[in-house]
């Protein structure tokens, strides 16, 4: 069965897990102030710790391109990052679903628009980056999330099956990263996030193309990290365990959904990585359901 431009993380059919990721919240209380005392050393309001913290927790002014944005983790990322202030450009092969999702975000006050594309086509992949740049003048964050799988035994896997999976899961991130990195160099920096999977660390039967693509994507991500960091471009690989997304549940409907992690939790973790100071980078992030027994 093939699923295109959906959340790219997967687990083995026998995996058992549960969702657990920490969410953060901040509260502030005010009271009637005491009379102010004159002081020549008073800190200007613009430099207060609270205002600095508020700015550091925001993606205001950033443009993010998210592939596979119509559903699953991609849709969660579009919402979480959009609500953090980013301008969202979503890309997906499912044009109608993508359009509906971007419209829903705009109703929530997010600056969001969609670009329908088949990322297995290198021309479409390159055009996706151009679309983000043409509309916003810059590209600060690229999230390579789109993925597909064709779960068949080796002797039933056709050449076209192989090319579809490798084209979407590995070739497209390469083309997108190459295009985005060129723009990010001109800007003086940026961030590329590649959504890998525990399938990049282990293997199970009937997933030859998927494993090859995810192992390759993890290697590509670390190579990009080494090559692009001198230019202020941070690169992060996300090794994600099973999530409650259509990409996983449509293929393995027998899985216990309570034992899978919420894609919103994974999106929150990625947002935290993106909000780190520009001088720091997480080269690889592993995030799993708490009780996933098939992974250490």
Catalytic residues: 210
Contact 106, 17 (CB under 8 A): no
Cβ pair 266, 287 in contact under 8 A: yes
Place of tokens 């005010």: 30
Q: Tokens in use for 182?
A: 């060129």
The DSSP result for 29-93, as a single string, is ---PPPPPPP-TTPPPGGG-HHHHHHHHT--TT-EEEEESTTSHHHHHHHHHHHHTT-EEEEEES
Residue with tokens 């590509």: 220
DSSP string, 97-146: HHHHHHHHHHHTT--EEEEE--TTSHHHHHHHHHHHHHHHS---EEEE-E
Among residues 134, 101, 135, 144, the alpha carbon closest in space to that of 7 is found at: 144
Q: What is the bridge-based pairing of β-strands 146-147 and 6-7?
A: antiparallel
Cα–Cα nearest to 193, from 55, 102, 77, 61? 77
């Amino acid at each position: 069965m093939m699923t295109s431009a959906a959340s790219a993380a997967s687990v083995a059919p026998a995996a058992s897990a549960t969702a657990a990721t920490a969410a953060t919240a901040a509260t502030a209380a005010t009271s009637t102030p005491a009379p102010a005392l004159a002081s020549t050393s008073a800190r200007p309001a613009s430099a207060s710790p609270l205002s600095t913290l508020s700015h550091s927790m925001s993606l205001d002014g950033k443009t993010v391109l998210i592939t596979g944005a119509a559903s699953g983790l991609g849709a969660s990322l579009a919402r979480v990052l959009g609500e953090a202030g980013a301008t969202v450009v979503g890309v997906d092969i499912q044009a109608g679903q993508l359009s509906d999702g971007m419209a829903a975000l705009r109703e929530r006050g997010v600056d969001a628009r969609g670009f329908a594309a088949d990322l297995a086509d290198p021309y479409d992949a390159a055009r996706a980056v151009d679309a983000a740049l043409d509309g916003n003048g810059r590209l600060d964050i690229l999230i390579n999330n789109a993925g597909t799988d064709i779960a068949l035994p080796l002797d039933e896997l056709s050449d076209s099956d192989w090319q579809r999976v490798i084209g979407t899961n590995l070739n497209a991130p390469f083309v997108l990263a190459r295009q985005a990195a060129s723009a990010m160099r001109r800007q003086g920096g940026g961030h590329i996030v590649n959504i890998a999977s525990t399938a990049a660390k282990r293997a199970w039967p009937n997933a030859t193309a998927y494993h090859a693509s995810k192992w390759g994507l993890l290697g590509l991500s670390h190579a990009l990290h080494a090559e692009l960091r001198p230019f202020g471009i941070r690169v992060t690989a996300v090794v994600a365990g099973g999530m409650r997304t259509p990409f996983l549940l449509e293929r393995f409907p027998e899985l216990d959904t309570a034992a899978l992690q919420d894609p919103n939790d994974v999106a929150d973790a990625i947002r935290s990585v993106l909000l780190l100071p520009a001088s720091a980078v997480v080269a690889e992030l592993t995030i799993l359901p708490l009780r996933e027994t098939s992974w250490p």
